[in-house]
């Protein structure tokens, strides 16, 4: 007879959370020891290792001698491992990071005997719209999840459809990933308890057997589990033990007709804990920086380096992916856990930076040492500003930039460095101590160009690039010793640096390409090719012919776009109390909102012609903390200056905005408001290979108040306002769709609170996390405002967001001989409306050899034509695991027709 229940023994393993990683790993080793012993003692036992290979890797690092035991069980199909490297928060990392997570997890599982072909996502706080396509393009046909499923799903499975039309059959864990535990509470009553549960949930199962997930957080199942279940099984109630994969493939029979399209962020069947989007800002910023740095490193390594640094890049990716765990980057752990995540992300960025810099050093070796190499990490040509350090012009001269084609370009000086680095008086007997500061030719971080030694005086002249002859340190020592002996008494030692300045230079860069420039002083009138509309400024306005910004009396901004669209009052800051926790925001019962500054100051910092800047300082009186009962904002206030740096660059149709303040207050939420010209009822945000539209409300019903606060990765758009983002952020449309509010800070003091006004049940234990108050920390955010009545597509906001987030890479030339600048070099160019390039990297195939992998996504609801050009003659379309699908003809470049929202990966050679 058919099974009435299938039990899936498993555990859910948070790698780090209310304890740091190594404490949890100690428990993990004990748990997996128990699992292996149980499986080897009982042939009926099966175990599903939570869908993530990190648990297996962490175990085998401590128990390497058990690798063969693990592999044997995997090959037998009794231990299900993978397909992920780690169970991630899908909204707080890039789509590319999700793909690499799946690739690395799958490869690690294959090395042990095979990956579980189930997109297991049991505890994520909602799910991205494109997850079905990511799974399908890796050959995975099934998913299993819990949180975020809408109320329209009334069975135990549904078809989950991505925006491109891809689908995966999805098992809905409607009672959570531990629904079988209550049945097992009394081993002698498993049969009756199972019968009661099956009857209570019968309408969900149809003809399929009950799926009983027999596991919970951080514990192995009881070794007697299989014995209990055999005893409870009988003719009236057949019980089977299986892996999750076996349940899906062997035991379900019903055809699934219910279809759900897009992201899953409903609160109706489980808490999705949306406050994690905005707590511990620094983790979100470090994640974005690490992802951006490794992406740049891969691109320049693939295109411009002879060295394959894939091992270093894999290490960087591994550390990033580890940090995406749904209790890691979200910031819902203890202070020591979050410090470890922050350090891991910093290490990932450092590893990638080393690869990036080494790759750029190769083409920089062709650039004379008085020049600079500029690299464009984006796959389309652009004009951008490069910031370079140069010799400051002397009186009567001016600076001009020359590029490889001989054309001249304007230079804007933005700062000058001090020239006197040291001025000391000492006895002649102490001169030897000064010489010990010199390392070969380096002194105080620069190089000795020449020195002057006269009676009683020693002067060092330093330069970035010495023009004088060689310096022999042994001869210098002999000369100084002789001079000191001949002239005892007081000496004056001065260290003078060449006058240096930081300059901005406009550079036209090929797609994913290289250009070089040289900045030199001239004593004639400069005739550079001025931009058609330079950036200009007055005491309270900035403009560049494409966008204009004016500072109002209250310190907010009026921003006018290229099409005449005006956004008034941009940047109004609203600070309110927060009595919630790391998982959910909650206002105190008696809140006080502070939105009006007590003082406003405006300073003109730069007036063009390439970049103009204003600094707006607003001083607010914010309550210092909540009252002891946490329902009232306290009476004591702290004056807090908030600096807003407003910047307009030549050629950019958006205004760059940065906010900065020293946080001295606890228990509060600060948001940046963008009033809209007209109320709207939808918003759209870009991230993870899609632009997702959302309304003004969220679906509730479980016990968590459905606040309509939503995630955005690279941009958020509402009506005529497009905000380009530096890192994953939280936003909300408020006041009936008349304002867009972006969260800059949530300062809270507990992982979870037991009694929460907007959530019925605790999300975790009530553990203090004083570090999450961010007290004494400088809170900085940066974004850009792009007004357009045509919305995000008409404003080309996807491409503009890429320009905003990805600065050019600049390094000094290292060729010793003076000479001409090398010609510009193009890398890979991708053309196409709303085509996003997620990755360009070096790959090696055992059969086809080395190639360059390019991953593209159509960020559009209509098919898009993409054209890829570069130094290649062959192209292979591959799936998301890198397996070849088809050979693609290359004629006048690679022509690709991308379907709506399609992700496509090609390898060119």
Q: Could you report the per-residue pLDDT of 43-101, keeping only the tens digit for each?
A: 999 999 999 999 999 999 999 999 999 999 999 999 999 999 999 999 999 999 999 99
pLDDT grade for 526, boundaries at 50, 70 and 90: low
E strands, 474-565, in order: 490-497, 500-509, 514-522, 536-537, 541-543, 548-551, 557-560
Distance CA 670, CA 63 (A): 47
Average pLDDT for 305-315: 97
In the sheet where 210-214 sits, what is the strand order?
210-214, 5-9, 239-241
Q: How does pLDDT run across 560-582, given as a tens digit for each residue? A: 999 999 999 999 999 999 999 99
Determine which of 419-433, 458-472, 765-779, 874-888 has the lowest per-residue pLDDT on average. 458-472
Provide φ and ψ at 431, rounded to 5°.
Answer: -60, -30
CA angle 75, 80, 86 (to 5 degrees): 125
- CA quadruple 427, 433, 437, 440: dihedral, nearest 10: 110
Record the tokens describing residue 674, joined without a space. Answer: 């963008």
Distance CA 816, CA 847 (A): 41
Bond into 83 cis (ω within 30): yes
Which residues have C-beta within 8 Å of that of residue 236, sequence separation ≥ 6?
Answer: none
pLDDT confidence of residue 1: 41
Distance CA 788, CA 138 (A): 38
**Among residues 714, 751, 712, which one has the least CA distance to residue 729?**
712
Bond into 609 cis (ω within 30): yes
Alpha-carbon distance values, 729 to 70, 484, 623 (Å): 40, 63, 24
Quick one: which H or E segment has residue 230?
A: helix 225-232
Record the tokens describing residue 801, joined without a space. Answer: 């967001």
The residue behind tokens 């039309």 is: 165
Is pLDDT larger for residue 396 or for residue 509? 509
Determine which of 594-603, 744-753, 816-825 has the lowest per-residue pLDDT on average. 816-825
Q: Is the pTM of this model over 0.85?
A: yes
Alpha-carbon distance values, 173 to 225, 227, 746 (Å): 21, 25, 31
Record the tokens describing residue 444, joined without a space. Answer: 């105080």
Which residues have C-beta within 8 Å of that of residue 719, sequence separation ≥ 6?
Answer: 676, 677, 678, 679, 680, 791
The residue behind tokens 């409870």 is: 232
Average pLDDT for 508-518: 97
- Residue 709 has, within 13 A of its CA and on its CB side, a CA count of 24
Q: How does pLDDT run across 247-261, given as a tens digit for each residue? A: 999 888 878 999 999
pLDDT grade for 529, boundaries at 50, 70 and 90: low
Distance CA 180, CA 440 (A): 71
For the chain, the distance separating the N- and C-terminal CA atoms, rounded to the nearest angstrom, is 56
pLDDT confidence of residue 584: 98
Under 8 Å between Cβ of 84 and 48: no
- With H, G, I as helix, E, B as strand and everything else as coil, classify residue 236: coil
pLDDT confidence of residue 889: 85
Distance CA 74, CA 395 (A): 76
Write down the mean pLDDT value for the chain.
95
Under 8 Å between Cβ of 56 and 112: yes
- With H, G, I as helix, E, B as strand and everything else as coil, classify residue 26: helix
Average pLDDT for 618-626: 98
Residue 7, pLDDT > 70, answer: yes
Distance CA 38, CA 45 (A): 7
Cross-strand pairs, 504:
387, 412
Under 8 Å between Cβ of 81 and 112: yes
Q: How does pLDDT run across 813-845, given as a tens digit for each residue? A: 999 877 899 999 999 999 999 999 999 999 998
pLDDT confidence of residue 528: 65
- Residue 676 has, within 13 A of its CA and on its CB side, a CA count of 25
Tell me the three-class secondary structure of 305-332, residue by residue: CCCCCHHHHHHHHHHHHHHCECCCCCCC
Residue 2, pLDDT > 60, answer: no
Per 3-state DSSP, the chain is made up of helix, strand and coil in percentages (nearest 5) of 25, 35, 40
Provide φ and ψ at 534, rounded to 5°.
Answer: -65, 160
Distance CA 535, CA 544 (A): 4
Is the torsion defined by CA of 886, 890, 891, 892 positive or negative? positive
pLDDT grade for 226, boundaries at 50, 70 and 90: very high
Distance CA 240, CA 429 (A): 89
Under 8 Å between Cβ of 555 and 597: yes
The residue behind tokens 């945000």 is: 685
- With H, G, I as helix, E, B as strand and everything else as coil, classify residue 532: coil
Looking at residue 277, the DSSP 8-state letter turns out to be: G
Instruction: Residue 371: count other Cβ atoms within 10 Å of its Cβ.
Output: 29
Cross-strand pairs, 522:
398
Alpha-carbon distance values, 185 to 10, 12, 35, 182 (Å): 16, 18, 20, 5
Record the tokens describing residue 386, joined without a space. Answer: 């490069």
Are β-strands 142-145 and 118-121 bridged in parallel, bridged antiparallel, or unpaired? Answer: parallel
pLDDT confidence of residue 3: 63
**Among residues 266, 262, 188, which one has the least CA distance to residue 231?**
188
**Among residues 141, 144, 140, which one has the least CA distance to residue 156?**
144
Distance CA 353, CA 665 (A): 35
Alpha-carbon distance values, 305 to 348, 564, 660 (Å): 20, 45, 38
Average pLDDT for 179-183: 94
Are β-strands 371-375 and 79-80 bridged in parallel, bridged antiparallel, or unpaired? Answer: unpaired
Q: Residue 342, class by beta-carbon neighbours within 10 Å (0-12 exposed, 13-18 middle, 19+ buried)?
A: buried
Phi-psi group of 719: left, alpha or beta (phi > 0 → left; psi -120 to 50 → alpha; rest → beta): left
Sequential DSSP letters for 765-806:
---B-GGGG-TTPEEEEEEEEEE-TTHHHHTTHHHHHHHHH-
E strands, 114-265, in order: 118-121, 142-145, 157-161, 167-172, 210-214, 239-241, 259-261
pLDDT grade for 491, boundaries at 50, 70 and 90: very high
Under 8 Å between Cβ of 409 and 415: no
Cross-strand pairs, 371:
518
């Amino acid at each position: 007879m058919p099974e009435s229940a299938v039990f899936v023994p498993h555990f859910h393993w948070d790698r780090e959370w209310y304890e740091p990683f190594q404490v949890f790993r100690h428990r993990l080793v004990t748990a997996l020891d128990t699992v292996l012993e149980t499986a080897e003692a009982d042939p009926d036992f099966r175990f599903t290792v939570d869908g993530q290979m990190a648990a297996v890797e962490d175990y085998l690092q401590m128990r390497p001698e058990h690798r063969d035991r693990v592999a044997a069980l995997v090959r037998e199909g009794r231990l299900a491992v993978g397909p992920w490297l780690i169970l991630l928060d899908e909204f707080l990392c890039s789509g590319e990071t999700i793909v690499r997570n799946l690739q690395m997890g799958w490869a690690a599982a294959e090395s042990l005997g095979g990956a579980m072909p189930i997109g297991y996502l049991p505890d994520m706080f909602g799910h991205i719209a494109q997850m079905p396509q990511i799974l399908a393009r890796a050959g995975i046909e099934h998913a299993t999840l819990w949180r975020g499923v809408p109320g329209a799903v009334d069975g135990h499975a549904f078809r989950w459809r991505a925006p491109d039309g891809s689908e995966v059959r999805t098992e809905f864990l409607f009672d959570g990933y531990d629904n079988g535990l209550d049945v097992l509470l009394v081993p002698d009553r498993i049969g009756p308890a199972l019968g009661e549960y099956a009857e209570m949930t019968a309408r969900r199962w149809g003809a399929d057997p009950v799926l009983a997930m027999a596991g919970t957080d951080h514990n192995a199942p009881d070794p007697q589990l299989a014995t209990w279940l055999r005893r409870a099984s009988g003719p009236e109630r057949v019980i089977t033990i299986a892996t999750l994969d076996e349940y899906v493939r062997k035991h379900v029979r019903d055809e699934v007709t219910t279809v759900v399209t897009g992201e899953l962020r409903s609160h109706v069947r489980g808490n999705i804990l949306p406050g994690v989007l905005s707590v511990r800002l620094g983790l979100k910023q470090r994640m974005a920086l690490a992802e951006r740095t490794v992406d740049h490193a891969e691109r320049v390594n693939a295109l411009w380096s002879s060295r394959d640094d894939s091992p270093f890049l894999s290490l960087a990716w591994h550390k990033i992916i580890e940090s995406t765990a749904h209790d890691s980057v979200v910031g819902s752990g203890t202070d020591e856990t979050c410090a470890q995540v922050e350090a891991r992300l910093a290490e990932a960025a450092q590893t990638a930076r080393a690869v990036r810099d080494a790759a750029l050093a190769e083409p920089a070796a062709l650039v004379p040492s008085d020049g600079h190499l500029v690299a464009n990490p984006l796959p389309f040509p652009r004009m951008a500003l490069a910031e370079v350090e140069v010799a400051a012009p002397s009186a009567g001269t001016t600076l001009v930039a020359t590029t490889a084609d001989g054309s001249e370009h304007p230079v804007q000086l933005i700062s000058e460095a001090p020239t006197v680095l040291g001025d000391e008086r000492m006895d002649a007997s102490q001169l030897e101590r000064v010489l010990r500061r010199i390392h070969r030719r380096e002194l105080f971080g620069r190089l000795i160009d020449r020195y002057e030694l006269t009676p009683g005086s020693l002067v060092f002249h330093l330069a970035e690039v010495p023009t004088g002859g060689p310096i022999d340190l042994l001869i210098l020592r002999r000369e100084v010793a002789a001079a000191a002996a001949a002239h005892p008494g007081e000496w004056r030692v001065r260290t003078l640096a060449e006058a240096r300045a930081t300059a901005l230079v406009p550079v036209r860069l090929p797609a994913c390409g290289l250009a070089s420039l040289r900045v030199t002083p001239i004593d004639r009138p400069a005739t550079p090719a001025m931009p058609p509309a330079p950036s200009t400024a007055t005491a309270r306005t900035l403009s560049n012919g494409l966008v204009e910004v004016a500072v109002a009396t209250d310190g907010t901004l009026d921003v006018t776009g290229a099409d005449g669209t005006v956004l008034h009052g941009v940047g109004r800051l609203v600070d309110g109390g927060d009595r919630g926790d790391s998982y959910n925001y909650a206002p105190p019962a008696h809140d006080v909102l502070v939105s009006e500054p007590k003082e406003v100051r405006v300073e003109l910092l730069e007036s063009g012609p390439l970049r103009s800047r204003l600094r707006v300082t607003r001083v607010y009186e914010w309550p210092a903390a909540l009252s002891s009962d946490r329902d009232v904002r306290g009476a004591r206030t702290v004056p807090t200056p908030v600096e807003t740096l407003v910047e307009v660059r030549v050629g950019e149709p958006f205004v760059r905005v940065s906010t900065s303040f020293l946080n001295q207050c606890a228990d509060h939420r600060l948001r940046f408001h963008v009033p809209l010209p007209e109320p709207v009822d939808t918003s759209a945000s870009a991230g993870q290979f899609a632009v997702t539209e959302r309304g003004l409300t969220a679906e509730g019903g479980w016990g968590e108040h459905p606040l309509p606060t939503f995630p955005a990765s690279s941009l958020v758009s509402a009506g005529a306002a497009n905000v380009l983002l530096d890192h994953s952020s939280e936003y909300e449309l408020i006041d009936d769709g008349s304002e867009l509010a972006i969260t800059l800070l949530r300062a809270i003091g507990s992982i979870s609170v037991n009694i929460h006004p907007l959530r019925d049940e605790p999300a975790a234990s009530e553990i203090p996390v004083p570090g999450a108050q961010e007290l004494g920390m400088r809170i900085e955010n940066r974004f850009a405002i792009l007004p357009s009545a045509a919305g995000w597509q008409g404003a080309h906001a996807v491409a503009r967001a890429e320009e905003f987030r990805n600065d050019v890479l600049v390094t000094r030339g290292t060729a010793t001989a003076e000479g001409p600048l090398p010609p510009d070099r193009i890398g890979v160019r991708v053309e196409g409306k709303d085509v996003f390039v997620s990755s360009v990297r070096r790959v090696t195939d055992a059969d086809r050899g080395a190639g360059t992998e390019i991953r593209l996504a159509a960020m559009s609801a209509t098919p898009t034509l993409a054209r890829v050009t570069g130094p290649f003659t062959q192209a292979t379309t591959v799936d998301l695991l890198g397996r070849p699908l088809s050979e693609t003809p290359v004629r006048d470049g690679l022509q690709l027709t991308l379907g709506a929202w399609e992700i496509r990966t090609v390898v060119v050679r």
